[in-house]
Amino acid sequence: MTGKPLRVAAIGECMVELSQTDGNCHLSFGGDSLNTAVYMARSGTAVDYITVLGDDPYSDTMLQTWSDEGVGTRLIRREAGRLPGLYAINTDARGERSFYYWRDNSPARELLTGKHKKQLETSLLEFDVLYFSGISLSILDEAQRESLFDILGKARQRNITIAFDPNYRPVGWSSPETAKQWIYRAYGLCTLALPTLDDEQLLDPDISAEQLAKNLLALDIPEIVIKMGASGCLVKTAQTEQIIPVPAAVTPVDTTAAGDSFNAAYLSARLRGKNVREAAITAHRLAAVVIQHRGAIVPESAMP
């Protein structure tokens, strides 16, 4: 990666978010790849969000909010008569979350259908970096996943950076085996892997960070960053393997978007020419701030 300004496309779904605090529900918007896009924009990275919305007031508010954050919205398609998905977050006393979804009819599930597939392919191949997650994959049917992989294959041939966070959520998949099959195909196309160890252990309970790094390096992924929560992260490339600890321990209030914000800060730092250690420390610092606030997107005044 270089220090020159580069353009990033973040692919996925944003939903209406309901979070409960003291018995009351707070309405906002969230989605893993969108969270990363917002934090990248706040870090000064040129980033566009790629999704499909409806023509409803909630979609209007999403677009305005993202634009105000500096996230590009020119490639977001809107479908008449449709509504975005909805999810609710329940957070326990330790800051851990449970999610409940109403998203079966979300227009984002039709991202790569019909004539839109070719149009989106042309647009995506003009970016320098493509970012997506396992959730981005899980909302698509098999034909659309194949279309996305076809685009990613062409992107890799053009030396476009492909960053992937598996972000495994069981509710989005028919089975762990199906999820693992698609996730590992995505690993085979990416150039920067950003898994979370806890997620990977849902698919393989016995796997360690070191073994996961070894497995992924065998897939010819040039750069691997395994997030390990309070234990820091393991970075592995062909030249180095190092555990980079968190700068300071913090008590989480809400772990929503911890990994999303880490990914944003890490990728933004690498695109500015920082080395892997500098990028990881920057990412740890942002994630530490995020988990001390409720909700996915913290106030901009709280940014480190």
Tell me how far apart the alpha carbons of residues 39 and 268 are, in angstroms, rounded to a whole number: 9
Please tell me which residue in 48, 128, 165, 260 is annotated as part of the active site. 260
Tell me the residue type at 37.
A
Tell me how far apart the alpha carbons of residues 116 and 143 are, in angstroms, rounded to a whole number: 13
Walk across the sheet containing 86-91 and list its strands: 24-30, 15-21, 86-91, 97-102
**Is the CB of residue 237 less than 8 Å from the CB of residue 270?**
no
Tell me the residue type at 212.
L
**Is the CB of residue 154 less than 8 Å from the CB of residue 185?**
no
**Is the CB of residue 20 less than 8 Å from the CB of residue 36?**
no
User: Active-site residue 68, yes or no?
Assistant: no
**Is the CB of residue 26 less than 8 Å from the CB of residue 18?**
yes
Cα three-residue angle 92-85-198, rounded to 5 degrees:
40
Segment holding 293, helix H or strand E: none
Tokens 């989106």 belong to which residue?
120
Number of helical (H) and strand (E) elements in the chain, helices listed first: 10, 14
* Active-site annotation, residues: 260
